[in-house]
Amino acid sequence: MSFPFLFYGAAPAEWYGGGRLDYEIRFAEAPGPAERAAIAAAVRLELAGKAEIRLDTHDRWHWADTWAALVVRTRTMDTDWPVFFDEVAALFAAIHAACAVELVVCRSVDTARTTDDPWTTWTLESRPEIPARPRWTTGGRASHDRFAAQGPPLPVEAAFDAEFEAARRA
């Protein structure tokens, strides 16, 4: 599948976290209230027909300038992983349709392991340099991903948006 944005970890061969995968999004511009409302509506509509993915209401999105962090979970313990990753891709495509996305990173890709998976190898070799990015404090989970220490921290704190969360749950 091709994407109109860079997507690192679209279908990783190795990941950690079981049925919880952490993602970061970098938008082309910082989404304002209207764009965040459009994103929330797109997420609700996209998730309505999904068999394998869910976004829990307690997993709040965190925002920092042009960045957002979110958690995607499996619906069942017996996940069809190819379908799961197809549904994740469709979710980010819907988000992009609502507000232009530049980059999506799956923070749960386990790059500490050696892999023969060509997609993962390409991802690690081709990932862009990120000049500045948030230092997420959304649960204290250690990251095995090589994006984790890349770039200086943004001079803003990541925070959740109560209006966005209400719109996402509506």
Backbone angles phi, psi at 22, to 5 degrees: -95, 135
Q: Which of 120, 116, 101, 168 is nearest to 15 (CA)?
A: 120
The DSSP annotation for 86-110 comes to: HHHHHHHHHHHHHS-EEEEEETTB-
The tens place of each residue's pLDDT in the chain, 170 residues long, gives 678 888 887 887 777 777 888 898 999 999 999 999 999 999 999 999 899 999 988 888 989 889 998 999 998 889 999 999 999 999 999 999 999 999 888 877 765 555 565 555 555 555 556 666 666 654 444 444 445 555 555 556 778 889 999 998 87
Least Cα distance to 63 among 156, 158, 147 occurs for 158
Q: Give me the pLDDT at residue 27, please.
A: 96
What is each CA distance from 9 to 32, 49, 155, 168, in whole angstroms? 27, 23, 26, 24
Please state the domain extents for the chain: 6-169
- The DSSP code for 73 is E
pLDDT at 142: 43
Helix (H/G/I), strand (E/B), else coil: 58: coil
